[in-house]
A and B are shown apart, each in its own frame.
Chain A
């Protein structure tokens, strides 16, 4: 074995021996450090995976949705606007979409009622998402009544349930017929919730959106790209806030480590003096400190990251569920696909391992100013 390996290993021997001397202290340090990495890692994993999952799932979302704005809020849009939009060059199709929200006092939940433009259920039939059937205990063949805008109840028959696999987008959905929808909400004929537009050449999307606003100044087009970006920012800031908070904890932790490492106690000074007297170079003493930093921080990093991975991808980030759910009564049951980004793991590595290791090594230059003969003088 080359000498430097044997030497490094010997120095590691000494490092571990000296770490074990303050077992309780170093172990609690390890636990706190692991916890910090675990929290940071969980947030990074969760937000990254959700962003990727959102962008993959929403790749088939409408290319453009046009809303009507009235006094700054969005309002039902006249269905005739669709004809105006269709006249714009490059527009392949434009059609009114009907959907809305229904608050169900019985379950205390909000449902999304939607009229599919193709294959809509007929008459009083509805198709419900898993969240709806779970919270209201209604299944295929059951009859459920919703209170309409006029105060009268309307009965609907559950014809089918949406698949479990699609719960992430359909948990709170109730699909119904246009007639049923308009009747329930008293939604005037000739109005729609918004208009869905598809274009021939996706590159022209922005131009077409601009033309829509030109011709219909009271509208607001939303592009598919913006929908995906919405999820990026939702997870970015939700994750961002947590990261800022955890980073503060990390900073405090690094200051603590620095404090611990930089103030050499009389015992440590004497020990360094002894080591130098028996023939250790300053570099060897520094290497002990470096080993200490690397061992502690790498063990914490790997333990914390692995725990974060298990937490997010095996246990669906259960610890964060209360924050994610908020007041939601319906929450989709889904396992997160492990989209992990090596770049992010590297960032996490540099955010956690490097500051700690540096905080332990840098102060050890003090070892250099301890003369070997200090042990003789004491």
Chain B
């Protein structure tokens, strides 16, 4: 039996080794994940001075909360709200509790709320 290498003309058309692209993808994934951490680190350092601005305003104006959810007073100032105020402020504003995530407000009620103001 022969054990010598194949001639070149046969070699050219051969299917490529399939683990190559797989290893490349795995490596690229790992590399990008690494870059992700590096980017996060750099971005964090760059953002720190930017955070000084809101942090300074919090100190100056004696603010207690982030202005994230402005829909109701207990969401605008969750730390200042009454305990369990979700049930007090608005008849259908339940989303402070898990059940609120499941159902949406009937549209009629929302209009009623606007008309009352």
Please report which residues of chain B, range 5-30, place their CB below 8 angstroms from some CB of chain A when the two chains form the complex: 17-19, 21-23, 25-26, 29-30
Q: How far is the CB of A240 from chain B (nearest CB, A)?
A: 9
Beta-carbon contact of A230 and B36 below 8 Å: no
Known contacts: A12-B22, A13-B18. The answer to whether A337 contacts B70 by CB under 8 A is no
Asked if A319 is at the interface of the complex by the 8 Å CB criterion, the answer is no
Known contacts: A108-B114, A299-B29, A326-B75. The answer to whether A57 contacts B55 by CB under 8 A is yes
Tell me what chain B mostly uses at the interface: helix, strand, loop, or mixed.
helix
**0 or 1 for each of B59-82: is its CB under 8 Å from A? (1 = yes):** 111111111111111011111101
Per the bound structure, the CA–CA distance linking A219 and B63 in Å amounts to: 19
Per the bound structure, the CA–CA distance linking A103 and B90 in Å amounts to: 14
Chain A residues within 8 Å of B51, by CB: 53, 56-57, 337
Which of B29, B39, B65 contacts A302, CB < 8 Å?
Answer: B29
Beta-carbon contact of A112 and B76 below 8 Å: yes
Q: How far is the CB of A223 from chain B (nearest CB, A)?
A: 10
Chain A residues within 8 Å of B37, by CB: 340, 342
Beta-carbon contact of A101 and B73 below 8 Å: yes
For A, the interface residue count at a CB cutoff of 8 angstroms equals 83
Q: How far is the CB of B117 from chain A (nearest CB, A)?
A: 5
Per the bound structure, the CA–CA distance linking A295 and B28 in Å amounts to: 12
Asked if A59 is at the interface of the complex by the 8 Å CB criterion, the answer is yes
Bin the interface of chain B by size.
Answer: 35 or more
Beta-carbon contact of A170 and B114 below 8 Å: no
**0 or 1 for each of A161-177: is its CB under 8 Å from B? (1 = yes):** 01101111111110100
Residue from B30, B55, B63, B72 with most neighbouring chain A CB atoms (10 Å) = B63
Known contacts: A72-B82, A222-B79, A230-B79. The answer to whether A131 contacts B67 by CB under 8 A is yes
Per the bound structure, the CA–CA distance linking A137 and B90 in Å amounts to: 28
Beta-carbon contact of A60 and B69 below 8 Å: no
Beta-carbon contact of B71 and A62 below 8 Å: no
Chain A residues within 8 Å of B73, by CB: 101, 110
Chain A residues within 8 Å of B117, by CB: 103, 105
Chain B residues within 8 Å of A105, by CB: 114, 117
Report 18 cross-chain contacts, Cβ distance below 8 Å, ordered by A residue.
Answer: A12-B18, A12-B22, A12-B23, A13-B17, A20-B18, A57-B51, A58-B58, A67-B80, A103-B117, A116-B60, A117-B62, A169-B58, A230-B78, A241-B101, A295-B26, A309-B36, A326-B69, A326-B75
